[in-house]
Amino acid sequence: MTANIINGKEIAKDVRREVKEAVEERVATGKSVPGLATVLVGSDPASGMYVKMKQRACNKAGINAFHIDLPADTSQEELEAKVAELNADENVHGILVQLPLPDGLDEERVLQAIDVNKDVDGFHPLNIGRLAQKGRTPVFMPATPAGCIELLKRTGVELEGANAVVLGRSNIVGMPVALMLVEHNATVTICHSRTKDLKGLIQTADVLVCAVGRPEMVKGDWIKPGAVVIDVATVKVDAPELEKGYKWVGDVAFDEAMEVASAITPVPGGVGPMTIAILLQNTLKAAQLAD
């Protein structure tokens, strides 16, 4: 068997086009231009790059991008005051505080300060809490996990009754994606660093979502024949055979998995592009909520 590649780049492009069209349509009927405010505290280069990518994507989709740069020594009170200001700004429909925050700032308090109807990152405790409760709907879902689900849906993967295994239980990927899979009526096993018989559990998965960050830890013979594999991890590893000297890999040994799975996301070009696409979708939704 050779697996189909789930092309996250193309699917993300479709989502971004849909958002752009919906933005154009609403603006043409006199409604507000959706606005996303990004807040960056400190000067971490990776965080700075992510924020720039998000701003660029907003511009392309016709969404207003507002950016607030704060110094690394910003106090908790100053940061929360900025969030309060953005909560009150009617041109700002979505607020994204780039994580991680510098040491000394209380991430949970900051996330809690964001208006739940502007929480386009989906990390407000109320949104996550609703995700964990049957029959409750969060206003927003976190972008990367929602991106995984969107990839599965748009590939036509049947989740109802499927055995799903999620590798990783972080707040930003593993746990929310597991909750979303439950919401889609999959039977979900969550694995983490203390799990015994990881291989045996993974072998039961019709749908496998990996979010650990350990290069190629999941081998081909861990995968159930015909399984669908979503690899969230993105890890830079040395590749002396390449001119640039490095490459990006996921948690899954891709070439081996290609021989066993029915469909798999590549790294890069799988889940990665979906995160920003879903963020744009969430920002559009935030503007619609404010209409």
**Residues noted as catalytic:** 54, 98, 121
- 93: phi then psi, degrees, rounded to nearest 5: -100, -30
Shortest gap between Cβ of 170 and ligand NAP (angstroms)? 3
Judged by CB under 6 A, the stretch of 114-122, 222-230, 269-277, 281-289 that binds ligand NAP is: 269-277
Told to check if 122 binds ligand NAP by CB under 6 A, we report no
Judged by CB under 6 A, the stretch of 25-33, 105-113, 114-122, 271-279 that binds ligand NAP is: 271-279
- Mark out the alpha helices in the chain (DSSP H runs): 8-28, 45-61, 76-88, 107-113, 125-131, 143-154, 174-183, 198-202, 254-258, 272-290
Measured CA to CA, the distance from residue 93 to residue 59 in angstroms comes to 15
Told to check if 247 binds ligand NAP by CB under 6 A, we report no
CA atoms within a 13 Å half-sphere pointing along the CA-CB vector of 261: 32
Radius of gyration of the chain (CA): 19
Judged by CB under 6 A, the stretch of 23-31, 34-42, 81-89, 163-171 that binds ligand NAP is: 163-171
Told to check if 280 binds ligand NAP by CB under 6 A, we report no
Judged by CB under 6 A, the stretch of 20-28, 156-164, 221-229, 270-278 that binds ligand NAP is: 270-278
C-beta of 34 vs 174, nearer to ligand NAP = 174
Told to check if 174 binds ligand NAP by CB under 6 A, we report yes
The answer to whether 286 and 93 are in contact (CB under 8 A) is yes
C-beta of 67 vs 192, nearer to ligand NAP = 192
Structure tokens at 175: 């746990």
The count of other CB atoms within 10 Å of the CB of residue 179 is 22
Told to check if 272 binds ligand NAP by CB under 6 A, we report yes
C-beta of 57 vs 92, nearer to ligand NAP = 57
Told to check if 7 binds ligand NAP by CB under 6 A, we report no
The answer to whether 203 and 257 are in contact (CB under 8 A) is no
- Among 169, 184, 224, 285, interactor with ligand NAP by CB under 6 A: 169
- Among 64, 74, 98, 275, interactor with ligand NAP by CB under 6 A: 275
Told to check if 229 binds ligand NAP by CB under 6 A, we report no
Q: In the structure, how many helices (H) and strands (E) does the chain have?
A: 10, 11
Told to check if 144 binds ligand NAP by CB under 6 A, we report yes
- String of contacts with ligand NAP for each residue 180-219, x by CB under 6 A: -----------xxxxx--x------------xxxx-----
- 174: phi then psi, degrees, rounded to nearest 5: -55, -55
Shortest gap between Cβ of 212 and ligand NAP (angstroms)? 4
Shortest gap between Cβ of 166 and ligand NAP (angstroms)? 9
- Of 199, 236, 246, 230, nearest in space to 214 by CA: 236
| Cα distance between the two ends of the chain | 50
CA atoms within a 13 Å half-sphere pointing along the CA-CB vector of 54: 31
Shortest gap between Cβ of 289 and ligand NAP (angstroms)? 24
Q: Which residues contact 132 (CB under 8 A, 6 or more apart)?
A: 179
Contacts to ligand NAP by CB under 6 A: 144, 167-170, 172-174, 191-195, 198, 211-214, 232-235, 271-272, 275
